[in-house]
Amino acid sequence: MASLDSTFLIDLLRRVSPAVEHLDRLEASREPRFITPPAAAEVMVGAHLLGGQSLRVAEELLATLQWLEFDPESSRLAGRIGAELIARGEPLGAADLFIAATSLRHRQRLITRDRGFARVPGLQVETY
């Protein structure tokens, strides 16, 4: 199962070819697609800034995805991962930390173009 990062979704909305091709493969496999609340929020910030049709299209895209819960276990994972990364001198921003922890908690691989997620221990990252 795949958790879709905001970078992937934004690239889809912009019709970036590698993202569109990757989505085509996901749809052909009939693999369920998920989103974390922080990734959705990042998409919606940009959509609200653009407004109009961009906002409607972003909302429609998000409505096609299943949402992963940021629950107490996700919070504990985020704390542990965040502390480990800080101790290594490789901190991750809060939104990305929550996206990583939620995806890991729900055993999802994360589809993103952000290679920074590769620093998260145990997180399966798929780039395009």
pLDDT along the chain (128 residues), means of 10: 97 97 95 96 97 96 97 97 97 96 98 96 96
Helix (H) or strand (E) holding 111: strand 109-111
Q: Which position has the token pair 């919606």?
A: 44
Q: What is the pLDDT of residue 123?
A: 97
Q: What is the pLDDT of residue 66?
A: 97
Q: What is the pLDDT of residue 63?
A: 97
The structure's pTM equals: 0.93
Q: What is the pLDDT of residue 16?
A: 97
d(CA 12, CA 41): 16
Three-class SS state of 125:
strand
Q: What is the pLDDT of residue 30?
A: 94
Helix (H) or strand (E) holding 97: helix 94-105
Q: What is the pLDDT of residue 96?
A: 97
Three-class SS state of 106:
coil
Crossing angle of helices 52-63 and 6-13, in 10° steps, is: 130
Class of domain 2-126: alpha beta
